[in-house]
Amino acid sequence: MTSPHTIVVTGASRGIGLELCRQALARGDRVVATTRRASPALAALQAAHPERCLALPLDLADAGAVERVGPALAALVDRVDLLVNNAGLYSTHASRWDPAATGIASADAAEFATVLTVNAVAPVLLLRACLPLLARSSRARVLNVSSLLGAVSAHDGPGDLAYAASKAALNIMTRALAAELAPQGIIVVAITPGWVRTDMGGPQATLSAGESVAGMLRVADALRPADSGRFVDYAGLDQPW
């Protein structure tokens, strides 16, 4: 995929989402940055690229708002070449990876509902809202940002109940959506960004947001129809389900 392209990024106010916007803009792409709340860093990107960095308020915990976002998107852009379902919620009890705080003792229905809505339901609803715009792209693709915590075959530790369940759900829906949308030429993959130094990943993580995002964009650029339905990391390597 060569620049310039139109990219929709969720969770764009900080971390991986903000870095996705920054790197996409630097290479000449047009970005629709969705976020529940604006941030000074995102506002600075908008000021630097007023024609190409377009903000769209969107609360992914509000499924109704996600379902209704299509017309607002269509008012901003004429097509979508890449949708990055990046926004994620680890827990309503902990903002950073903490298995001890996300096990059975703290599990409750409200947390499961919120985490599953943000991490698994909203990406599907947003993809559906974007379908008319994705259909106008000559090389439409979708990156569902996932995690190895959602890999059933690799997850053998405690905690992370709601988050792991939500990412496992996102993974299986990625497979199903890839099959369903293949006739329309839309490529759908799940991707893990690695362990990244963000608010969620924490300061001990091994990757900077810049390193992770550079890899993710390279993966997106190289995707072909045969790749649809894969679960890969930021280097394009297959990951366990």
Active site residue ranges: 146-147, 163, 167
- Are the C-beta atoms of residues 155 and 164 closer than 8 Å to each other? yes
Distance set, CA 85 to CA 11, 98, 109, 192 (Å): 8, 23, 24, 12
Q: Bridge partners of 54?
A: 32
Listing DSSP states for 223-235 in one string gives --GGGTT-EEETT
CA end-to-end span of the chain, whole Å? 27
Closest CA to 84 of 154, 9, 26, 141: 9
Structure tokens at 193: 């960004």
Q: Which residue has the tokens 């995707």?
A: 223
